[in-house]
Amino acid sequence: MALANVGYQLAQAGRTVLLVDFDLEAPGLPTFNLQRPERLPPGIVDYVHDYLTTNQAPSVADYLYRSESFPNGGNLWVMPLADPTTGTRALSGNNWQDLYERRNGFLLFEELKEQWRSPSSPTTSLSIPVPAIPTC
């Protein structure tokens, strides 16, 4: 949660920050006291699942939401781990080893980083620590 606190402080100081919850074993952002929409969008796990289903990198805009806006122009965006209603299915259905060995997973995440850097997306990103990629 230290990075979430740093991200919040940076947003309060006028920066645009994206918090990505990529902790597959114990997602922490839902426990952090942040504003969230009534229905959470799909998250990073759903993003990967949709890529594996369509063989195309989805638009990141469909997988994040603005949590906080501050008077000095700072914004805090969140990319949750997964849609709470379907994320468990997507998490268990993603073959992470296959993603990297046969499905260009490295290029998928390079594309994701480029979308994060685009003018229509948040430009400063902090990520919750990423655990080791599970092997199947």
- Listed ranges 59-68, 79-88, 111-120; the one with the highest mean pLDDT: 59-68
**Dist. CA 115–CA 69, nearest whole Å:** 21
Residue with tokens 């400063």: 124
- pLDDT digit string, tens, across residues 101-135: 999 999 999 999 888 887 666 544 444 443 344 44
Q: Specify burial of residue 8 (Cβ count, 10 A radius: 0-12, 13-18, 19+).
A: buried
pTM of the shown model: 0.81
- DSSP calls for 85-120: TTHHHHHHH--HHHHHHTS-HHHHHHHHHHHHHSTT
- Per-residue confidence at 90, pLDDT binned at 50, 70, 90? low
Look-up of token digits 């997306």: 121
34 torsion bin: left (phi>0), alpha (psi -120 to 50), beta (else)? beta
For 16-35, write each residue's pLDDT tens digit: 888 998 888 777 787 788 88
Which residues contact residue 117 at a Cβ distance below 8 angstroms, ignoring those fewer than 6 apart? 123
pLDDT over 80 at 80, yes or no: yes
Predicted local confidence at residue 3, as pLDDT: 83
